[in-house]
Amino acid sequence: MSVKLIDVKNAVLKNKVHYVTSDYKTRGNRSVHNGMDLIGKNRSADYVIAIDDGKVITSTYSKTAGYYVEIKHQNDYISRYLHMKKNSIKVKKGDNVIKGQVLGFMGNTGDSNGAHLHFAIYDNKGTPQDPLPYLQDKLKFTFSGFSKFVSNVQSALKARVDGIAGPETLSKTITISAKVNHKHPVVKYLQEYLYNLGYKDIGTADGIAGPKFTKAIKQFQKDNNCVVDGIVTIQNKTWKALLKLI
Ligand SMILES: [Zn+2]
């Protein structure tokens, strides 16, 4: 059987085009392949992200699905992410997630041959739906979500802008605090990003690390099990937490 390769332009995560290797099929009204299989340029290194805001209803392992996550969204539709990499899942049942939030990495667990993401959508009655329209509609968000934050940070740090918060990005991150850096090019993006994460008291996105900035960072640190000192460093895990690497 030949592999159908569709370039899903709207599924571009920064520079990474995702390809559909097997799409949704129905025979009569019975679904034959109740999802889409996606691969990216980096295979197992690819992030799996939440397609929309929602609540995690499943984050577990099964023999067939491997490590997988299920999210319930507005109007009770469900998105499902299968075969994820072992120990890569960053969300647990009951977590609220936002569009573009990293759930973990693409993997090859369960009934899978080769690293890929089986992505599926179910309506509120549990009936599988063709995921393509959801992908095309919902993935537009990524440019204003997490990957946008990462690329903004990278350009401010003059690190390689590839949308992946890899070692180069991390090695260039520096200490930011109200005491040490009153003004830093990354501060503005941090302010915007934290605001979008719900830290509404962050203040104006003006690039100045003032008292409101410090307070919001402390709250973020508290919520993410980092050292609560209001200083954004790699040592105290805050950078990694912000870049969703821990
Ligand atoms: Zn599949």
The CA 81 to ligand 1 mean position distance, Å, reads 10
Domains identified in the chain and CATH numbers: 6-139 (2.70.70.10), 146-242 (1.10.101)
pLDDT higher at 178 or 136: 178
Residue 40, both tokens:
């990216």
Q: Does position 7 have pLDDT exceeding 60, yes or no? A: no
User: Once rounded to an integer, what is the mean pLDDT over residues 197-222?
Assistant: 86
Residue 42 has pLDDT above 70, yes or no: no
Token pair recorded at residue 205:
């996105």
Q: What is the pLDDT of residues 67-92, one digit of tens each?
A: 999 999 998 999 999 999 898 898 99
Distance from Cα 118 to the centre of ligand 1, integer Å = 4
pLDDT at 54 over 90: yes
Q: Is residue 160 over pLDDT 80?
A: yes
Instruction: Tell me what pLDDT residue 13 has.
Output: 37
Sequence-separated (6 or more) residues with CB below 8 Å from residue 28: none
Could you tell me the sign of the dihedral formed by the alpha carbons of 22, 91, 9, 166, in that order? Answer: negative
Distance between terminal CA atoms of the chain?
40
Query: Which of the four pLDDT bands, split at 50, 70 and 90, describes residue 21?
Result: low
Find the 82 Cα to ligand 1 centroid distance in Å: 8
Ligand 1 centroid, distance to 246 Cα (angstroms): 28
pLDDT for 144 equals: 46
How many A from CA of 48 to the centre of ligand 1? Answer: 15
Q: Which residues surround ligand 1, an ion (CB under 5 A)?
A: 35, 37, 118
Q: What's the pLDDT score for residue 18?
A: 57
pLDDT for residue 10 is more than 50: no
Whole-angstrom Cα distance, residue 204 to residue 242? Answer: 19
Interval 169-208: pLDDT, tens: 888 888 898 888 888 889 998 998 888 776 778 878 888 8
Distance CA 210, CA 183 (A): 9
Rounded to the nearest whole angstrom, what is the distance from the C-alpha of residue 225 to the centroid of ligand 1?
35
Question: Residue 93: what pLDDT?
Answer: 97
Distance 88 CA to ligand 1 centre (A): 19
Length of the chain: 246
Tokens of 98: 């936002």
pLDDT at 224 (0 to 100) = 77
Residues 121, 33: contact at Cβ < 8 Å? no
Which amino acid does the sequence have at 180?
V
CA of 37 relative to ligand 1 center, distance in Å: 5
Residue 21 CA, ligand 1 centroid: distance in Å: 9
Using the mean position of ligand 1's atoms as its centre, give its distance from the Cα of residue 65 in Å: 9
What sections of 39-157 are H helices per DSSP?
132-138, 146-157
H or E element that contains 58 = strand 54-62
CA of 53 to the centre of ligand 1 (A): 23
- State in Å: Cα 111 to ligand 1 middle: 9
Looking at residue 45, its amino acid is A
Q: What is the mean pLDDT of residues 91-108?
A: 86
> What tokens appear for 73 in the block?
């969204």
Residues with Cβ within 8 Å of 167's Cβ and at least 6 positions away in sequence, in order, are none
Ligand 1 centroid to residue 172 C-alpha, Å? 38
What is the CA(140)–ligand 1 centre distance, in A? 23
Q: Which residues pair with 66 in a beta bridge?
A: 62
